[in-house]
């Protein structure tokens, strides 16, 4: 059985009738859209989606930092004088 990752659910017919009313009933929570009692989609409020995208971007930037730090640790520093540049 597939888990439903939302505290609010609605069948596809209810979603088709009035998606805005469904969002209002959910009070800003994610809505799992069910088809034959299986989740087929999740309706995520715009504010939550924006927050998720910001977190994902932060995570990806953190991964880049980690990679670059490991590259820096492996590289040998070269000392130069300002006059040499």
Reported as a pLDDT band with limits 50, 70 and 90, residue 42 is very high
Evaluate the CA torsion angle 64, 67, 70, 74 in order and state its sign.
negative
Helix residue ranges per DSSP H, the chain? 12-17, 19-26, 46-74
**Is 40 in contact with 33 (CB distance < 8 Å)?**
yes
pLDDT, tens digit, 9 for 90 and up, residues 4-36: 999 999 999 999 999 999 999 999 999 999 999
Residue 51: its pLDDT value, please? Answer: 96
In terms of C-beta density within 10 A (0-12 exposed, 13-18 middle, 19 or more buried), how is residue 14 classed? middle
> Tokens 């004088």 belong to which residue?
81
Rounded CA gap, 61 and 53, in Å?
12
């Amino acid at each position: 059985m597939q888990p439903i990752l939302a505290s609010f659910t609605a069948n596809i017919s209810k979603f088709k009738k009035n998606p805005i009313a469904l969002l209002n009933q959910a009070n800003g929570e994610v809505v799992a859209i069910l088809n034959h009692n299986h989740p087929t989609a999740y309706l995520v409020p715009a504010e939550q989606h924006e927050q998720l995208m910001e977190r994902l971007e932060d995570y990806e930037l953190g991964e880049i930092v980690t990679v670059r730090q490991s590259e820096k640790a492996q590289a040998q520093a070269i000392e130069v004088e300002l006059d040499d540049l």
